[in-house]
Amino acid sequence: MTWDEGGNGSVTSASIRQMFMEKATGGHGAIASKRGDADAALSRAAQKVEAVYEVPFFAHAAMEPMNCTVHAKGDGTAEAWISTQSPMTARAMVAQVLGITPEKVAFHTLFCGGGFGRRLGVARRRATA
């Protein structure tokens, strides 16, 4: 088996920096407001201060497995333990999958890590499949 890194396999902090620098200096930016002449003012300045602040790329990703626990009880109720940013929507999805009303789902939001928007999409796709 050969691992395929996909189209972004060669993306690095250095390549992201280069892309941003090219965009920032190549006249690609949008002008939200233009007042005065910044270039002229800077050319007359007695003192200029320049600084560049950079950090490497950090993945905005969950550190724990993408999972949840749902106990579907025989009496038509359920209990769910899910780390999510949208507990009401997740509760509704659990109810939909089980064929019960959301009021019959006791929902426990776990404050450990997060899905950063990914978990809900996966749950929605699986619930409607």
In degrees to the nearest 10, what's the CA dihedral of 62, 65, 66, 70? -130
pLDDT over 90 percentage in the chain = 37
Structural domains of the chain, with CATH: 68-128 (3.30.365.10)
pLDDT tens-digit map of 106-121: 999 887 665 555 555 5
Roughly what angle, to the nearest 10 degrees, separates helices 87-98 and 118-128? Answer: 20
> pTM for the complete prediction?
0.48
pLDDT of residue 117: 57
pLDDT tens-digit map of 67-101: 789 999 999 999 999 888 788 988 999 999 999 99
